[in-house]
Structure 1
Amino acid sequence: MLIDFHTHLDFYNQTDLAAQLAEFSGTIIAASVDENSFLKNCEIASHTPDHCHIIPTFGVHPNYADENVTFLDNPETKKRFEKYLEQSPLIGEIGMDFCWSKCSVENQEKVLRYFLEYCNKTAKPCVIHTKAAEQKICDILSDYPDAPAVIHWYDGPENIYREFLRRGYMQTFGVETIRSEHLQKLLKMTPPELLLAETDNPDSEPWLGGTRNDVGLIERVYNEIAGLLGMSRPAFEKLIEENFNRILPN
């Protein structure tokens, strides 16, 4: 079974997406960036054929922190957020970004801590964006030892990565891995039981200069990472499925 642990299905052209999902067999984690994104992902999931299992997840991406931070103190919005958190089997995409996000560091941290407090209390997994904020996030996560973190597309310093591995955080690898010696080094440092695969499409592959951004791209990612690890494709597929089932038991 193919499992894409991180995508943004709500960013796709919806007509194209419907045709692609009709041909796809596997599981897709549909990460959200805010409330509207989550509701759109839920709508997509409700119209998907049985052979394609979509799991919408609620979170607020660091790029959307400024416009969402006031919602955390609004009783009406907070009640909706709490409902979405309960609905979502894992939380994401959340985190901090000191590279691309124009949102204030203070607001990014406040939003991140809101979600981490919930995950720490419920032991619900959370998918973390760390771009150029690796040390800050490492420090913050130490305050929430019972929040099971999944680090999404890490490409930062090796010493912080080693600390994440020491803590047992799961790690996703995707379309850039085959293109990056640094990511390949991190991949080979990673214990097999902490590995997951993703595409982060529809935008990541075109951003890297590729032309494919369909949901089926996860199969190529599987083949590439299996090759880098010297594993057969069936063995890698089995590994990812076992790791996924530990995070989200059936």
Structure 2
Amino acid sequence: MPGSAASISEANTVLNTIVAEELRQFADRLECAADFESELRALLRDVIRSNKRILFNGDGYSPSWAREAATRGLLNLRTTPDAAPHLLADKNIRLFAAHNVLSETELRARHEIMLETYCRTVRIEALTMLDMIMKDILPAVSSFSARLSQNAAAKAAVCSDSDCSYETAVLTQLSRLTGEVFRNAAALNRAVTHSGELSSTEDAAAHARDTILPLMTALRTSVDEMETMTPSDCWPYPSCGQLLFSVR
């Protein structure tokens, strides 16, 4: 299923070309058959036997299906850098050329554009994340931490037996998370900078998949945890709860 920003036309082009090739093979076999009905039954039997491993009527989103697909020898290409090289497989080049859909040159151009778009999209999202973290989230959490410190100090000044366990626990957690976010943000910034220095689109796409996206995932996890401990009046963005349940 393509994402909201993707066009369904590319997927349809691929599927229609594959179906056209299969129908051509069916026609070639049936048109020269001495006994059409007998050959048709044999064809259907052969097709089901050779493609039975792709048939699955369960939950296609279940992790168990991914494991089952692996045992059946089916591909599970999770990212664009994983999937894009298959566009240039010899059998696929021959397929598109045979039906006059795309030449090898056109396929290679689309492969390059696909990887460039992936790299550009990941770069934009990474830079946006860095901007949000460095300009808004870390300053907001730091400000709240300072407020907590002042509250704890004020309580202790008024009464030495005051229980500051809440302030201490939250400060400890936020301090740890702030350090994690700051270090991972610096690493992400270096990774994004390095991506612009790579001359190969394939290398840049692999770098985005293997380095940039994992850092972004780590940052998202830490920031989500910080959000749960920061009051809404200190948090610079609408919370997930506000986005989901406060529509007016």
TM-score (norm 2): 0.20
Structure showing greater radius of gyration is 2
Higher helix share: 2
TM-score (norm 1): 0.20
